Amino acid sequence: MFGKDTVPDLASVGAYDGMHLIYAAVQKFGPKVTGDQAIGLWKGMAWDSPRGPMKIDEKTRDVVENIYLRRVEERGGKLVNVNFFTYPMVKDPWKEENPE
């Protein structure tokens, strides 16, 4: 998506995800979509992001995403992050342990 020599940064990934949600709402409801319509659509919505699989929790409206453990390795003369473990689809641990 970004080319093999380009790593997306936090801002570009956030913009991608935000625009993905806006596009989905406008596609479903048209250009005069309301905030309530959009929030209703996004609850439980899942998609593939540059950061991996994403979902909006239907109860808390928090992001649910993979957490990647990485280490820095030298490859081809460059230092790169290498994933070595993934915690899949992690919800906010505080809200999981302290439900309202």
Cβ atoms 21, 54 nearer than 8 A:
no
pLDDT on residue 99: 82
What gap in Å lies between CA 84 and CA 100, rounded to an integer? 34
The domain limits of the chain are 10-97
- The answer to whether the predicted template modeling score (pTM) of the entire model surpasses 0.85 is no
In the predicted structure, residue 1 carries a pLDDT above the cut 70? no
**97: Cβ contacts below 8 Å, ≥ 6 apart:** none
Q: How many residues does the chain have?
A: 100
Q: What is the dihedral sign for C-alpha 78, 79, 82, 87?
A: negative
Cβ atoms 79, 30 nearer than 8 A:
no
Residue range 68-97, pLDDT digits in tens: 999 999 999 999 899 999 999 999 989 889
